[in-house]
Each structure stands twice: as C-alpha cells, then as structure tokens.
C-alpha cells in the first residue's frame, strides 16, 4: 500500500476530516510539506478544502524568515490559500514562565485555532508522525506519566481543550478537531515520499540542539535503546495503542463512578459521597480526584503523582482529614463527604445550619432557614402513627404537643447548654459533649439547629429528641416535625 493510501486509511479509521475546510499547519519541514501534498491529492476524494497556515515563531531570526518565504512560495505554486502569523515566542516564554518549547507549542496552537475560526474550519491537521509518537511515549514515561500520558500523541483531539492560553473568545463555539494523519507513518517513509515526488523542504537546525529534552532523547537515548531492541520505536507505538484502548475503557468507568459519587458542586468546590468513593478501585478514586482538579482549574498543570497519592491516602484513612494540592486547592473529608475545593472556599455542609436570631416555627406550617437551603415543617396529629415507633429518618421527629407547646423556635446552641437525650432516663448531658460523641464536625456544631420552646431544647435536629418532649402513653396530640432540603436550592 502506498503512502497516500496509508494516510487515507488513517484518516478514515479515526474519522479525521469531515467534508469542509481544513487548516494544515505548515512549517516548511519535510513532514508538513508531505502532509500538505498528500491532503491536496486527497481533497477531491475526501470533499475537503485545504488551507495552509504558517507561524513565524521569531526564534531563529533570518532562518525563520526564510522558512516563511519558502512556505509562501510553495503555497503560491500549489495554489493553496495561506494564512501567515507571527509570535514573539521568547517574550511569551518569559511572560508565562514557560520553557521555550512549551511557549512555542502554545503560540502555534493558538494561531492554528484562530486560523480555523477565521476560515470556519472544523479541523486542523498537523504533521506528527510515528517516530514522534515513539519519542513522546518514551518522554512521558521518563517523566512519570500515568496511563493517560502513556497514550502519547492522540490521532484526534479537541483543539479548544488544549492548555495553550488562548483568548476565551477563541475557545467558545464549535469544537475544532486537531488531527494527525501521518501518525502511523515513519519519518523514513516521509523522507522517501518527498524524494520520490521531488518535494523540496526546509531543515530546522534547532532539531539538532541537544539542550532540548526531546532532541537528546532522539539523538542519544533512542539509538542506545535500539541496541537492546532494534524495534523499540514500534514497541513504544504499540504500547501507546494499548494504553489508549485501556484508557478509553477506564474513562467510561470513570464517568459512571463520577455520577455515582458526586453529590453537589458550586463556585470553587465539588462534593462527593465519601463511602461510595472509598468503595471504588483505587484507579477510579485517582481518576475522580484528577477530574475534579481538571474541572476546577481547566487542566492538571503542576499536579503530579505525589500530590494525588497523598490526597488518596488522607481521604481513605480519615473522616476529617485534609490534603493540600497545588494551584490553591485542597482535598478534604468531612464525615461522610469529601470535597475538592479552593483554599478558603467551603461548600455548604450537607446538614442545616442556623446562625443569628431564632427562627419562629409555625405549628402547623413551614418555614425556610435564612440560607434557603433547608425547610422546617410541622403538623399536628390526633393519633400516634405506627411509623413514629420505627422512625428511620433522623431529620423527622414525633413529639408530645402537650409537652412542647406551640411557641417554638429553631436556634443555634448557647454556651454550656445541656439537654436530656432520650434513652438516658432524663439525665442531663452537655450539648457540646453529645455532639462530639455523635461525631458532628467542629465547624458545624455552633450553628446546628435546635428545636426549642421557651424553657429548653426539644429536639437536636437530626440527632436526638429530648426526654421531656418524647411521646408517652399519655400523649393526646402529636407534633410531627421534619427538616428537609429545599430542592430549588440544591445544585
């Protein structure tokens, strides 16, 4: 099978190029010149309109200007519309505190995305090839990548989701596919194609500069590895393919686990059910943490293995632990819940909280707590319902209306306050001590809602009825009281 047919097969296998405009990144090197030539040969068959795009990175002075002039002549000779741009990559690297390679990558992809938006193109094609894939997999391995990183270069990805510092207006709208039609073609095959078709191209001497990590890997490490296994590049590419399949399966399971464990989210925080999360395989636990960070910070920059593993250990061993994460985030457990949140941003607790003045409770009737997230409601019953004896909902209670009266309020606790927990024979217990024994987190205790009359506590909501308000054989009327979440306020 010839090279053009192999590239066509790759395009079709990965559904790379739907009919319409496609922007081809052309540096002037052999890879991008070959890609442009092949796509021009295929454009009638594929129903695509090819546009070339070239960015002058302003790194290599006159050589970069010569590259730009070469691409302009080539586009004119081949009758290809050309978009040209320029970026001061060294200045960008200084401004964003990036390595020169990363700054160039960000500038290049931002330029290509802008060109795609201008041309209403849904695809951008770049010339990464099979040897690039092998180098990338090895590079990621040496940097300690997990399964996602071991996939190497993806055949198709969403350009709008790449970390590249692009203006927000470019990221809005329809996704733009970033495709790599040469990913299953070797560098040797590309050079042979250029030779056989008389294609001229530019040579970038910075590819020989071994101060760059990728260049050292290409020119030093890979040749050594080939003395151990002459097929090392193919082995690395196969490893990437297997990792991609395994990661796709893991991602499917992760989506299910996310739905099962995420309980709420808000501005700067995401909350999860701790018990359900702990029931997951550690791989899925790790994936949920990483996904939460990605959603809060639009990426995983500066997040490495030790950060995630430390958070996993803390969340699995403690009901109230907290682990610090980079980018101003924390992972914290709070008695049955855990959240990933910005430092200093606590999500509303999964329990009612009441601060300030007492809240009158109508009997019968309903009232919302000041934050609107919880509602207290009451009814008066003439008989004791059977479910009152087997109450399974801690947020409802049946009380003796004759003992409680109807002048009721919800309020927070007072210093040194006591009550008589049902089941203790009327003995008084300090409320703070009771809450500690009930494992109420410290930060929730001060504003925990208490149902009270004029003289004492009647019900520590969600926890225990006071002995003096409990139903007895002499009860004539029953006060049913319940606290429930307000669905309109839940996220």
264, 395: one domain: no
The neighbour count for residue 229, using CB atoms within 10 Å, is 11
CA distances from 30 to 67, 234, 237, 448, 461 (A): 12, 21, 21, 70, 73
Minimum mean pLDDT among 243-247, 283-287, 348-352: which range? 348-352
Specify the pLDDT at position 489: 65
Higher-confidence residue: 297 or 31? 31
Within a domain: 84: yes
Q: Name the CA radius of gyration of the chain, rounded.
A: 32
209, 254: one domain: no
- The boundaries of the domain holding residue 12 are 3-228
Within a domain: 354: no
367, 437: one domain: yes
249, 224: one domain: no
Residue where a domain stops, chosen among 191, 206, 228: 228
281, 364: one domain: no
Total count of domains within the chain: 3
Which residues, in sequence order, are CB contacts of 89 under 8 Å at separation 6+? 57, 58, 59, 100, 103, 104, 107
CATH code, domain carrying 308: 3.30.465.60
Distance of alpha carbon 323 from alpha carbon 116, whole angstroms: 42
Within a domain: 469: yes
453, 433: one domain: yes
Peptide bond into 364 cis (omega under 30): yes
Within a domain: 234: no
CATH code, domain carrying 458: 3.50.40.10
52 forms beta bridges with 24, 82
Within a domain: 347: no
Indicate if the pLDDT at residue 347 is higher than 90: no
Residue 101 — very low, low, confident or very high, per pLDDT cuts 50/70/90? confident
47, 169: one domain: yes
- Closest alpha carbon to 410 in 463, 474, 365, 355: 355
CA distances from 346 to 254, 275, 332, 418 (A): 25, 20, 10, 29
310, 426: one domain: no
Q: What is the pLDDT of residues 428-457, one digit of tens each?
A: 999 999 999 998 888 889 999 999 999 999
Residue 204 — very low, low, confident or very high, per pLDDT cuts 50/70/90? confident
Specify the pLDDT at position 142: 92
Residue where a domain stops, chosen among 287, 307, 342: 342
Residue 491 — very low, low, confident or very high, per pLDDT cuts 50/70/90? very low
Pairing mode, strands 457-460 and 450-452:
antiparallel
Average pLDDT in the chain: 93
416, 448: one domain: yes
Among the ranges 314-318, 344-348, 480-484, which has the highest mean pLDDT value? Answer: 480-484
Q: What is the DSSP letter of 346?
A: P
432, 467: one domain: yes
Task: Tell me if residue 298 falls in helix, strand or coil.
Answer: coil
pTM of the full structure: 0.71
Q: Is the Cβ–Cβ distance between 68 and 99 less than 8 Å?
A: no
HSE, CB side, 13 Å, CA atoms: give it for residue 141: 14
143, 53: one domain: yes
Q: What is the pLDDT of residues 401-420, one digit of tens each?
A: 999 999 999 999 999 999 99
Directed axis angle between helix 305-317 and helix 282-297, to 10°?
Answer: 120
Within a domain: 213: yes
- The whole-number average pLDDT for the span 27-43 is 97
Distance of alpha carbon 338 from alpha carbon 354, whole angstroms: 22
Specify the pLDDT at position 482: 98
Residue where a domain stops, chosen among 202, 228, 254: 228
Which residues, in sequence order, are CB contacts of 441 under 8 Å at separation 6+? 320, 334, 335, 349
Residue 420 tokens, joined: 């008589």
Distance of alpha carbon 148 from alpha carbon 105, whole angstroms: 19
Specify the pLDDT at position 273: 96
The neighbour count for residue 132, using CB atoms within 10 Å, is 20
Within a domain: 350: no
244 backbone φψ class: left, alpha, beta (φ>0; ψ -120 to 50): alpha
203, 266: one domain: no
Within a domain: 349: no
Specify the pLDDT at position 490: 54
Distance of alpha carbon 282 from alpha carbon 261, whole angstroms: 14
């Amino acid at each position: 099978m010839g090279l053009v047919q192999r590239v066509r097969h790759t395009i079709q296998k990965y559904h790379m190029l739907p009919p319409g405009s496609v922007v081809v990144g052309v540096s002037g090197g052999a890879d991008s010149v070959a890609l442009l030539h092949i796509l021009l040969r295929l454009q009638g068959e594929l129903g695509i309109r090819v546009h070339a795009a070239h960015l002058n990175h302003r790194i290599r002075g006159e050589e970069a200007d010569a590259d730009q002039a070469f691409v302009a002549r080539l586009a004119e000779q081949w009758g290809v519309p050309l978009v040209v741009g320029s970026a001061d990559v060294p200045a960008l690297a200084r401004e964003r505190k990036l390595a020169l390679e990363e700054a160039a990558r960000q500038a290049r992809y931002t330029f290509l995305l802008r060109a795609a938006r201008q041309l209403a193109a849904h695809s951008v094609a770049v010339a990464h090839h099979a040897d690039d894939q092998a180098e990338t997999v090895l590079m990621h391995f040496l940097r300690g990548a997990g399964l996602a990183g071991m996939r190497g270069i993806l055949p198709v990805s969403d350009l709008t989701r790449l970390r590249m510092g692009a203006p927000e207006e470019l990221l809005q709208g329809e996704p733009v596919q970033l495709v790599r039609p040469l990913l299953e073609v070797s560098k040797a095959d590309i050079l042979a194609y250029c030779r056989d078709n008389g294609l001229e191209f530019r040579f970038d001497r910075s590819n020989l500069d071994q101060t760059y990590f990728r260049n050292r890997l290409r020119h030093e490490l890979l040749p050594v590895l080939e003395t151990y296994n002459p097929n090392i590049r193919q082995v690395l590419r196969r490893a990437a393919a297997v990792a991609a399949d395994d990661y796709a399966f893991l991602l499917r399971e992760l989506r299910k686990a996310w739905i099962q464990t995420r309980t709420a989210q808000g501005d700067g925080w995401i909350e999860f059910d701790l018990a359900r999360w702990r029931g997951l395989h550690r791989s899925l636990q790790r994936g949920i943490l990483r996904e939460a960070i990605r959603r809060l910070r639009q990426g995983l920059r500066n997040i490495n293995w030790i950060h995630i593993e430390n958070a996993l250990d803390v969340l699995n061993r403690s009901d109230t632990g907290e682990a610090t994460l980079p980018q101003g985030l924390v992972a914290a457990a709070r008695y049955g819940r855990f959240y990933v949140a910005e430092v200093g941003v606590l999500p509303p607790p999964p329990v009612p909280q009441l601060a300030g003045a007492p809240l009158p409770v109508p009997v019968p009737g309903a009232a919302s707590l000041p934050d609107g997230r919880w509602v207290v409601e009451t009814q008066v019953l003439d008989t004791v319902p059977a479910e009152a004896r087997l109450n399974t909902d801690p947020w409802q209670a049946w009380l003796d209306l004759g003992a409680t009266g109807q002048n009721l309020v919800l309020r927070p606790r007072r210093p040194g306050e006591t009550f008589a927990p049902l089941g203790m024979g009327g003995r008084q217990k300090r409320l703070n001590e009771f809450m500690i024994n009930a494992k109420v987190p410290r930060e929730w205790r001060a504003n925990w809602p208490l149902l009270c009359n004029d003289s004492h506590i009647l019900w520590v909501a969600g926890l225990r009825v006071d002995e003096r308000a409990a139903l007895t054989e002499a009860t004539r009327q029953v006060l049913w009281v319940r606290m429930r979440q307000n669905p309109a306020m839940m996220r």
